[in-house]
Amino acid sequence: MRNVFVAVVFTLFFAFTASAADRAMQDPAAKPTVEIHSQGIIKAWDVRKVSIAHQAIPALDWPPMTMSFLLPPAPSFAALPVGTAVDFSFLPIDGGYRLIAVAAARQ
């Protein structure tokens, strides 16, 4: 009887945990679909992605860090040199973040 009770408890626990995780993944607040703006410094630029050391991004509860942003298939902005201070915007996409605007920061 004890084994049956333990099995039922484990089943209920894991079923609740899985459904809570599913709700969190479907929660639009977990990954905003609006563009996010920040400032940073270009660390690398290639044909598919740009690495930026950015400031904290409170909208995503991110600390300052360096990360890569995917470029759009046909970017409407030119590559900027490494070390350039920039203002940029991005959107979440499946598995990452896509840069939608980047420009040298105004002094």
Write down all domains in the chain, each with its CATH number in brackets. 34-102 (2.40.50.320)
Q: How many helices (H) and strands (E) does the chain have?
A: 1, 5
Residue 90 has pLDDT above 90, yes or no: yes
- The phi and psi torsions of 37 (rounded to 5 degrees) equal -110, 145
Average pLDDT taken over every residue of the chain = 81
Place of tokens 């959107």: 91
Using DSSP, state whether 37 is helix, strand or coil.
Answer: strand
Q: What is the pLDDT of residue 91?
A: 95
Residue 27 has pLDDT above 60, yes or no: no
Distance CA 26, CA 69 (A): 23
pTM above 0.85, yes or no: no
Question: What does the block give as tokens for 29?
Answer: 């607040």
* Residue 40, number of CB atoms within 10 A of its CB: 24
The CB-side HSE value for 61 (13 A sphere, CA atoms) comes to: 4
Q: Is residue 24 very low, low, confident or very high in pLDDT (cuts 50, 70, 90)?
A: very low
pLDDT above 90 covers a percentage of the chain that reads 60
Residue 66 has pLDDT above 80, yes or no: yes
